[in-house]
Structure 1
Amino acid sequence: MNQASGPLATRRFQQQPRPRLSGRPRLHRAWFVAAVTFVTIIGAASFASLPGLLIDPLNREFGWSHGTIGIAVSANLALYGLAAPFAAALMDRFGIRQVVAVALTVISLGAVLTVWMTTAWQLVLYWGVLVGLGSGSMALAFAATVTNRWFVAKRGLVTGVLTAASASGQLIFLPVLSWLVVHHGWRPAAITVSLAALAVVPLVWILLRDHPADVGQTAYGATEFIPKPPPLTGAARRTVGVLLSAARTGPFWLLAGTFAICGATTNGLVKTHFVPAAHDHGMPVTAAASLLALIGVFDVVGTVASGWFTDRFDSRRLLAVYYALRGISLFLLPMLLAPSVHPPMFFFIIFYGLDWVATVPPTIALCREHYGEDSAIVFGWVMASHQVGAALVAYIGGVVRDVFGSYDVIWYASGAMCAAAALMALVLRPGAGGAVSTEALADAVG
């Protein structure tokens, strides 16, 4: 549970509902909160489906190079990650509902403003900055915060399901958005994304609750009622303090390094460049987008299964296996791209889809194992490294395509990085259940 630490622990808890002794619903309220979180992340995932679809249309309409467009994608991905740890702290201060509702509104605003852009800096501002900050404020750190507050049992499974929500959003929106881009242009696609994000806001405001104590319940699987902690002030200061304290430990750098490679080889590489790379080989955009959506189908299966495995097996070994298999698939991809879809490509899609974000549940579990009550914020910083890795490869991939006329070099380099990530995961040692102590945090923030 996210509770106050250090001096905050001495504060008196605010008045709140006491647990109900009878008449409890058969289905725990935590599952309703998880369901709303799932739908919310799907709505936010819609904009993440667009980058790979818009590279060629923007190149044709404005004459912007792949590298120039890659700068906007990189800004989006980097801010997506850098906003996450601060968002986790803001949720402790203002509540989950308020932060998520504002984030969805910012995403909607950024998406609709792109319709009127005429220069590359506007693409960077609207698509990169606004949407990056909005989506980062309610990404995987949002899922980690909900899981930590509402669940004690089945945390791995719930993490897997919520992580799969982004893949489900990709599955839902990619075919629709690709059809819109091909038949009506990229602007209707951007408007569709804006409306999808905005439509989720009322659902969040009405149904989402910040803490089990708000409805007089215990967390799912908890044996005793825990009052809601008072709001934590100094969100930015606390977020930076947790980073400084965690950065003194080896596991943080290993987790951040492996997750940077995870982001580089998923959001940065495949999600951004798979469609234009397939199109380079003569494959229609709609067919390539459908393949990317199919990755989302198997991603849901793989991520939920990974959550189940995380509850039962060593997270370090799971990560090593996931990264090794991903590296092998990336080495093989250049040989599979062709004008039409052949059976070997389906094997890649299934294989890569199962492994897409299967790394998230064991990574969150390792953060919880090593950093205890600060694990959501630590994971936010680990998530930041994920997006920085994605941002670098999104840009580098575009430059490689401009220079060599092909993406082959970046596919092979990413496969090698996955091999390195597998070795880094094996180096991790078991955690002691909270490496970031209260005293260390107090020292870090001065």
Structure 2
Amino acid sequence: MLVGVNRTAETGSAAVAAAPPPRPSRPRIHRAWLVAAVTFVTIIGGAAFNSLPGLLIDPLHTEFGWSRGEIGLAVSLDMALYGLTAPFAAALMDRFGIRRVVAVALSAVAAGALASVWMTAAWQLMLYWGLLVGLGTGSMALSFSATVINRWFVARRGLVTGVLTAAGASGQLVFLPLCAWIVDAHGWRPASVTVALAALVAVPLVLLLMRDHPADVGLAPYGGTYAAKPAPMAGAAVRTVRVLRDAARTGPFWLLAGSFAICGASTNGLMGTHFVPSAHDQGMATTTAASLLATVGIFDIVGTIFSGWLTDRFDARRLLAVYYALRGVSLLFLPLLLTGPSVHPPMVFFIVFYGLDWVATVPPTLALCREQYGEDSAIVFGWVLASHQVGAAVVAFLGGVARDVFGSYDVVWYASGALCATATLMVLVIRRREGDAAPAAAR
């Protein structure tokens, strides 16, 4: 049964759409792939803002005199709200529909990015970057992808999860070098405007092409059978909290949340925020460091899609253990590689290796949420994603504080490598639910 499709409202409301008459012919390309493509583009538009924080730490510090800790606090607020909004956004999509929620979210990202152009105080940085952008990007977090996948796909879920997860990396690949060049040549304000325009461009695509449910166009989900569209579910906030309460009573939830918090700490919070300023400390040009981080995005796309393919075929626990172990080892070597302004072969090898592993953790983590929590898996994954962003937020803040106190980021790299070893052990002890079959390519 497709997760979330046959669910009815808790009040017992009947489905709002009856089964359509048989269609005379099946379209050659299923509508689900168009919806997935729009989702991909939308995530790229929303992810554009995530390219900025690492590029703006030094310019904001120079122009306003704000400490790196203050700037890191604003970035951490954005990341925390990104995560905490995600589970509520999944429930709101059940209540109001995907199109409405995502269109409003994109508008919030654009508003925050534009408003930051006129900021003059650190509290405004917290408001525009932290609050507005955090709420907007959180509403387009991976729980958005999970909702689309649960409704529109039965077959190829792992593969589609990998592709949509890679959308964030694609946004980084597109916008990070562009924004680095804009910051270097014209200042940080035009870069912020560029991000706002990217979010606004995605709005009409969502309104025109996105559909909330296969039944809206008289189709079955890809690889599944037709099911009527369930009635809108009232009480989105209450349901989100109830799902958290129920999931929090189970061990797998805490193991998934804890390991994913370490994932966020070692990616968005660490590399995404502090790699560029750390490389700049060693004399590397900002545009060069940004290009290296964008290269991570290239291999992230490959690694994440391949991880989705592997998740359809192998035990998600073992995949996660391998990913975290390899990431931890690579981070332990990074301080030895950041030793000067030039880019040498070992650094290139690190960038390729780390890129393949960056968000390869998402498809198996989402698969474990589906396995453990069934029809509530999108909301549970939203809460697991919240832990990811809380972990990222903590390191984004503490990384800036460590740089202010110790004069370098070395201690942060080493600590993150050790945390990855802990995540490896956590995922290995998650037990498979009784009666669950081994992964199959058709899942």
TM-score bracket, normalised by the shorter chain, equals over 0.9
Equivalences for 1:95-114 in 2 at 5 Å?
95-114=97-116
Q: Which amino acid aligns with 1:84?
A: A
Q: Which amino acid aligns with 2:215?
A: A
With normalisation by structure 2, the TM-score equals: 0.96
| Equivalence for 1:364 | 366
| Equivalence for 2:15 | 13
Aligned residues of 1:260 and 1:386 also touching (Cα < 8 A): yes
Q: Which amino acid aligns with 1:100?
A: V
| Equivalence for 1:385 | 387
Aligned residues of 1:16 and 1:216 also touching (Cα < 8 A): no
Equivalences for 1:130-279 in 2 at 5 Å?
130-222=132-224, 224-279=225-280
Q: What's the CA shift for 1:23?
A: 2.2
Q: Which amino acid aligns with 2:14?
A: R
Q: What's the CA shift for 1:400?
A: 0.2
Deviations 1:324-346 (A, max 9, x none): 00000000000111211000000
Aligned residues of 1:268 and 1:392 also touching (Cα < 8 A): yes
Aligned residues of 1:99 and 1:137 also touching (Cα < 8 A): yes
Q: What's the CA shift for 1:175?
A: 0.6
| Equivalence for 2:439 | none
Q: Does 1:339 align with 2:354?
A: no
Deviations 1:370-389 (A, max 9, x none): 00000000000000000000
For structure 1, the 5+ residue unaligned runs are: 435-446
2:92 aligned counterpart, secondary structure = helix
Q: Which amino acid aligns with 1:57?
A: P
| Equivalence for 2:441 | none
Which of 401, 418, 440 is 1:399 aligned to? Answer: 401
| Equivalence for 1:443 | none
Q: What's the CA shift for 1:17?
A: 6.5
Aligned residues of 1:20 and 1:216 also touching (Cα < 8 A): no
Q: What's the CA shift for 1:21?
A: 2.5
For structure 2, the 5+ residue unaligned runs are: 437-443
Quote the Cα distance in structure 1 between the aligned partners of 2:169 and 2:435. Answer: 30
RMSD: 1.2
Count of paired positions:
433
Q: What's the CA shift for 1:98?
A: 0.3
Q: What's the CA shift for 1:5?
A: 5.1
| Equivalence for 2:322 | 321
Quote the Cα distance in structure 2 between the aligned partners of 1:421 and 1:267. Answer: 16
1:326 aligned counterpart, secondary structure = helix
1:288 aligned counterpart, secondary structure = helix
1:419 aligned counterpart, secondary structure = helix
Closer/same/farther in 2, CA of residues 318 and 9 from structure 1, 3 Å limit: farther
Deviations 1:63-106 (A, max 9, x none): 00100001100000000000000000000000000000000000
| Equivalence for 1:295 | 296
Which of 63, 66, 78 is 1:61 aligned to? Answer: 63
Q: What's the CA shift for 1:8?
A: 2.6
Quote the Cα distance in structure 2 between the aligned partners of 1:155 and 1:328. Answer: 30
| Equivalence for 2:414 | 412
Q: Which amino acid aligns with 1:309?
A: L
Q: What's the CA shift for 1:4?
A: 6.7
Aligned residues of 2:17 and 2:215 also touching (Cα < 8 A): no
Q: Which amino acid aligns with 1:13?
A: A
Quote the Cα distance in structure 1 between the aligned partners of 2:16 and 2:162. Answer: 32
Q: What's the CA shift for 1:24?
A: 1.9
Q: What's the CA shift for 1:22?
A: 1.8
Quote the Cα distance in structure 1 between the aligned partners of 2:21 and 2:143. Answer: 27
Quote the Cα distance in structure 2 between the aligned partners of 1:6 and 1:103. Answer: 26
Deviations 1:252-273 (A, max 9, x none): 0000000000000000000000
Deviations 1:288-315 (A, max 9, x none): 0000000000000000000000000000
Quote the Cα distance in structure 2 between the aligned partners of 1:20 and 1:163. Answer: 34
Q: Which amino acid aligns with 2:390?
A: V
Q: What's the CA shift for 1:139?
A: 1.2
Q: What's the CA shift for 1:48?
A: 0.4
| Equivalence for 2:353 | 351
Closer/same/farther in 2, CA of residues 16 and 203 from structure 1, 3 Å limit: farther
Q: Which amino acid aligns with 2:103?
A: A
1:10 aligned counterpart, secondary structure = coil
2:220 aligned counterpart, secondary structure = coil
Moved over 6 A (4+): none
Aligned residues of 1:370 and 1:433 also touching (Cα < 8 A): no
Deviations 1:340-383 (A, max 9, x none): 10000000000000000000000000000000000000000000
Q: What's the CA shift for 1:433?
A: 7.7
Which of 57, 74, 77 is 1:75 aligned to? Answer: 77
Q: What's the CA shift for 1:25?
A: 1.0
Closer/same/farther in 2, CA of residues 184 and 202 from structure 1, 3 Å limit: same
Aligned residues of 2:8 and 2:14 also touching (Cα < 8 A): no
Q: Does 1:24 align with 2:23?
A: no
Q: Which amino acid aligns with 2:374?
A: G
With normalisation by structure 1, the TM-score equals: 0.96
